[in-house]
Chain A
Amino acid sequence: MVPKGVEPFEGAEQDNELIERTLNGEPQAFNLLVRRWERQIYALAFRMLGREEEAYDICQETFMSAYRNLSKFRGEAKFSSWLYRIALNCCHTRLRSRGNSDLSLEQQLEDQGFEPATNSESLNDTLHRDQIAGIVKRALAGLPPEMRQVIIMKEYQGLKFHEIAEILNIPVSTVKTRVYTGLEQLKQRLSHLRSVL
């Protein structure tokens, strides 16, 4: 249910202006920020966790946490970077609570009906876009979370290397190394698609 008085977001105001309005006692202004960033945060959480329900929960947690701590946001970094950081922290907490996160995530994807890839010769002929997407999803789920998050932020969120470095509070060179190693591991994991690659 959409709260009354919230118009679909058109992007007229800058993030900082909306933050100021919220801090000045206009909580509904925060909903415009939610409309602006919910898609990106949900996509990040979904790709990190692989489950729609959990991704939605993470989205809620992220925005509620941002709202409660809005006065602590100093505007030194971009609001989106701050949001991504909160979302990733929530994701990592969720992954830690799962225990053997990587294995369980892969297992989960298989339980949902995804067929593990085989090395059959006919694979190249039968692979469709959805199937490739399924394989990609599984391959990403198999990466360690630290590597997975940089690949997701770089490949899907379209963030610059220095932005990822800022979000994760690590050097840019470390981000590049993680992206390289992540791509290398993904290439190995998708080796059954060698003919496609």
Chain B
Amino acid sequence: MKPQNNCQRKEDLVTYLYGELTPSEEKNFKEHLNICSSCKKEASEFGMLRENLQTWQVEETPRVVLDLPTTQRPRSLKEILQELGSILPAWFKYGTGFAAACAASLLLLAVFNTQIRYDQNGFSFNVALFNSSNSKNIIVNPQPNDEVARAMVTKILNDKEAQINQALEEKRSQIEKELRKQIDILSGELSQKSNTELSKVSLELKRQQRSDLEKALQQIQRQRTQETFSDDDDPFNLWGGVNNKVIERAMENTQTFEQSGQ
């Protein structure tokens, strides 16, 4: 389809047509219409086209009836929480926040094995991750007396050593107990499994023996049957075909009969 209007101001044309140009833009475009015959012609044609488009009107609109719930609209969890937040008193909200912050701090201190002590040495602060023996003991405001301090340090070290040894001993006995328990469980399981396997093997062997025995019996029966049917008097042995011995004997009898007849 060949375009009738090659002018570049098509967007301005539709904007003008629907009256959405600013007053200055409109003035400018009207001046353009005086010099651009394509746009002028198209503006006129589009104007008449629009009049025709307006002939199609939707006269009747059926009333939309929605089956809305008579109770409250189902709300999301977020909305419910927001409403709960707006209902709760301020002291509760801030109190809960404060309690949560305290709980988080305590948890953090517990994770780092924090020990806070105040004695004659002053205020001490002990931090150790996973109760390490290389824990650092920060002593704030130490006493100036060296001997007392040395004695205190020695005492603390001895105490600490005793605690560590005790803890190690407890841990060792605990591990030993657990290991014994595990070994007992494993040996029990092993014996149970071996019993099960043995019974399976024995059953399989019995089944095999029975099967071999049945096969041997069948073979013996088959041999007996063959012997029964291969009787010398039977000219047509079902198992071996024609009995040659019987035929030879018959031939001899025939020859004897012919000779005697001659």
Cβ < 8 Å to B, chain A residues 65-117: 67, 70-71
Which of A10-18, A27-35, A118-126 faces chain B? A27-35
CA distance A76 to B4 in the complex (A): 41
- A-B interface pairs (CB < 8 A), number: 110
Q: How large is the interface on A (under 10, 10 to 19, 20 to 34, 35 or more residues)?
A: 35 or more
Complex contact A179–B14 (CB within 8 A) = yes
CA distance A31 to B65 in the complex (A): 8
B99 proximal to A (CB < 8 A):
no
B69 neighbours in A (Cβ, 8 Å)? 27
A169 neighbours in B (Cβ, 8 Å)? none
B63 neighbours in A (Cβ, 8 Å)? 2, 38
Q: Which of B53, B58, B70 makes the CB contact (< 8 A) with A46? A: B58
Q: Which of A23, A64, A155, A179 makes the CB contact (< 8 A) with B66? A: A64
Q: Which of A1, A39, A43 makes the CB contact (< 8 A) with B65? A: A1
A51 proximal to B (CB < 8 A):
no
B72 proximal to A (CB < 8 A):
yes
With A71-B76, A180-B10, A180-B13 known as contacts, the answer to whether A63 contacts B66 (CB < 8 A) is: yes
Subset of 15 A-B contacts with CB under 8 Å: A25-B73, A30-B68, A42-B61, A47-B56, A67-B73, A133-B57, A155-B53, A160-B20, A161-B18, A176-B11, A180-B14, A184-B3, A188-B1, A197-B48, A197-B49
Known: A67-B68, A161-B18, A186-B49. 11 other contacts (CB 8 A): A28-B70, A42-B64, A43-B58, A47-B58, A133-B57, A136-B52, A173-B11, A190-B49, A196-B52, A197-B45, A197-B48
